[in-house]
Amino acid sequence: MDPAPEPAPPPLPHGPGRGVMAAFLALGLWHLALVWLVGHRLGGGAAALALAIFAAVLAIAGLSLRARYPHARLGLCNGVTQLRAALVAVIAVPLAAPGVLNQETGLAWTIVVLGTLALGLDGLDGWLARRAGLVSEFGARFDMEVDALFALTLALLVAQGGKVGLWVLALAGMRYAFVAAARIWPWLSAPLPESRARKLVCVIQIASLIAILAPPVESGAAVPLAAATLALLLWSFGRDVAWLARR
């Protein structure tokens, strides 16, 4: 039998302490080094793109951590989310060299493996947060934004590769369109209830994009796979919008 989860520590009255911020930044520096090393091996000078992406994520997340994190320790959960962000930054390296994934099968498989690893880590951060009593608004938002960036990066790679038309960007753009719409209609920004169906559709979205990047998958299979995934996303977002409209 698994040990009982640790009780949640009392929230901090004025945000995280210096120790939490220092841990987040120290881990970020380690991940920056990882991004540089792996990105340089994959794309040489294009590693600068990966560094820029991860540095931007780190800066934005650091500001959010300072404002929204209520606990006295960072926890492994947020470290896992940061690692996923680093993997996404590395996966973006081929964007600096259009067509390279069509020419270099080994690189394409490396991106597929890294994408599968990043997808496999999704959900682990939330589980770790619940087990350690470190659930927070910051952690949930950090995880969500990394997922959105992951989907956008994969969709851009698929569009760049030419297996699917530019409409594949809708697989990633739908979430950003939803956020933009919420600025016009604030009722769209109300919290949604937990949904296994929503989480499953998100996993299918990412998994489909990764599968399309695999060298053996040709356009004849990629197009219907992307179309079916887009239909699922439309259903999922439509379901959420309908729920919010009724409230």
Of 202, 201, 182, 198, nearest in space to 190 by CA: 182
Query: Cβ of 103: how many Cβ atoms within 10 Å?
Result: 9
In this predicted structure, which of 46-50, 111-115, 128-132, 235-239 has the lowest mean pLDDT?
46-50
Give the confidence band of 118 by pLDDT, cuts at 50, 70, 90. Answer: very high
Is the pLDDT at 111 greater than 80? The verdict is: yes
Give the confidence band of 15 by pLDDT, cuts at 50, 70, 90. Answer: low
pLDDT digits (tens, 9 = 90+) for 160-194: 999 999 999 999 999 999 999 999 999 998 888 88
Is the pLDDT at 115 greater than 70? The verdict is: yes
pLDDT digits (tens, 9 = 90+) for 185-210: 999 988 888 889 999 999 999 999 99
Give the confidence band of 3 by pLDDT, cuts at 50, 70, 90. Answer: very low
Q: Give the Cα separation of 71 and 13 in Å (integer).
A: 9
Per-residue 3-state assignment (H helix, E strand, C coil) for 71-115: CCCCHHHHHHHHHHHHHHHHHCHHHHCCCHHHHCHHHHHHHHHHH
Which pLDDT does position 41 carry in this prediction? 80
Give the confidence band of 4 by pLDDT, cuts at 50, 70, 90. Answer: very low
Count of positions (residues) in the chain: 247
pLDDT digits (tens, 9 = 90+) for 37-66: 888 887 667 788 999 999 999 999 999 998
Which pLDDT does position 194 carry in this prediction? 84
Using the Cα atoms of residue 5, residue 10, residue 14 and residue 18 in order, give the sign of their dihedral. Answer: negative
Q: Give the Cα separation of 105 and 102 in Å (integer).
A: 7
Q: Is the pTM of this model over 0.85?
A: yes
Q: Please report the domains of the chain, with CATH numbers, ordered by start residue.
A: 18-246 (1.20.120)
Contact 184, 130 (CB under 8 A): no
Q: What DSSP character marks residue 13? A: B
